[in-house]
Amino acid sequence: MYKMDEVKAAPANSNAPSTPGARVEPAQDQKAAANAVRQMFSSIAPRYDLLNHVLSLNVDRYWWWRTARRFRYIVGRADASVLDLCCGTGDMTLALYRQAGPGGASIVGADFAHPMLCRATLKSAGLPIQWVEADALQMPFADGRFNLVTSAFGFRNLANYDAGLREIHRVLAADGEVAILDFGEPTGLTGKLYRFYFRRVLPAIGSMLSGTKGPYAYLPASVARFPKPQEMLSRMKAAGFRQVNYTPYTFGVAGVYWGKK
């Protein structure tokens, strides 16, 4: 068991694991890393939404909306099935639902942190969204079940990115599409200012508001460890995706990776 204050991300320049994926010190292997991530998100669930909106200055809402709108042609189809993976408290899932409208796709949100899903359930009371407690690396869904899989700020936390991509590929129908929204690292002057905010200001405010140091020190380090766009696109191709591409949002602070099965 890890105490929350002991949970911090392995530094970006630490020995790279043989299989790229998130690592939370002192976790050594994939199983321990996944457990530490689950514990971390479970512990911040009650304040997660507030912190998200404060720390992103509410731009997170725009990023979810933009991603959902980009895939309206799938989400709006009554015969389509959409999975929002690592859905957390459900904001990306709800953005998808709003684009779907009545009579649109059936929507499933999946996450392995129970307290995050409890909040998603409360936020979506009365809406026909199905919430499933599941590990993204071993999903309880049949092959080819979904026409679209999204993941917002969740994929980066997986203990094995290639296994995560293969599992997403497995649950997608032929011609199904994937959209992975996550933080990026902007360059130039914006990059410098942003890095100062992301590495210094955000962990300080996040730790103060959440009352725990770990998660908000983990966040910038996990972004620094995440593959750069070209590498991520190569990994998507290797997992079997085609027509892969990356669209940066807001000067590259975030962006969406997308591709087709």
Ligand X SMILES: C[S@@+](CC[C@H](N)C(=O)[O-])C[C@H]1O[C@@H](n2cnc3c(N)ncnc32)[C@H](O)[C@@H]1O
Among 10, 74, 83, 92, indicate the residue that binds ligand X (CB under 6 A): 92
CA–CA gap between residue 223 and residue 136 (Å, rounded) = 19
11-50 residues in contact with ligand X (CB under 6 A) are 34, 37-38, 41
Q: Which is nearer to ligand X, 154 or 252 (CB)?
A: 154
Q: How far is the CB of 45 from ligand X (least distance, A)?
A: 8
How many Å from the N-terminal Cα to the C-terminal Cα in the chain?
A: 38
**Helix pair angle (30-55, 59-70), 10° resolution:** 110
Tokens 């679209």: give the residue: 148
CA–CA gap between residue 221 and residue 200 (Å, rounded) = 11
Q: Which residue sits closest to ligand X, CB atoms considered? A: 88
The CB-side HSE value for 209 (13 A sphere, CA atoms) comes to: 20
- Please tell me whether residue 206 binds ligand X under the rule CB under 6 A: no
- Please tell me whether residue 253 binds ligand X under the rule CB under 6 A: no
- Please tell me whether residue 148 binds ligand X under the rule CB under 6 A: no
| Whether the Cβ atoms of residue 182 and residue 210 lie closer than 8 Å to each other | no
CA–CA gap between residue 118 and residue 146 (Å, rounded) = 23
| Whether the Cβ atoms of residue 231 and residue 166 lie closer than 8 Å to each other | no
**What are φ and ψ of residue 187, in 5° steps?**
-110, 180
- Please tell me whether residue 179 binds ligand X under the rule CB under 6 A: no
Q: Which is nearer to ligand X, 74 or 110 (CB)?
A: 110
- Please tell me whether residue 95 binds ligand X under the rule CB under 6 A: no
- Please tell me whether residue 137 binds ligand X under the rule CB under 6 A: yes
- Please tell me whether residue 246 binds ligand X under the rule CB under 6 A: no
| Whether the Cβ atoms of residue 187 and residue 254 lie closer than 8 Å to each other | no
Q: Which is nearer to ligand X, 223 or 230 (CB)?
A: 223
Among 96, 136, 178, 202, indicate the residue that binds ligand X (CB under 6 A): 136
- Please tell me whether residue 256 binds ligand X under the rule CB under 6 A: no
- Tell me which residues touch ligand X (CB under 6 A): 34, 37-38, 41, 52, 86-88, 91-92, 111-113, 116, 135-137, 152-154, 157-158
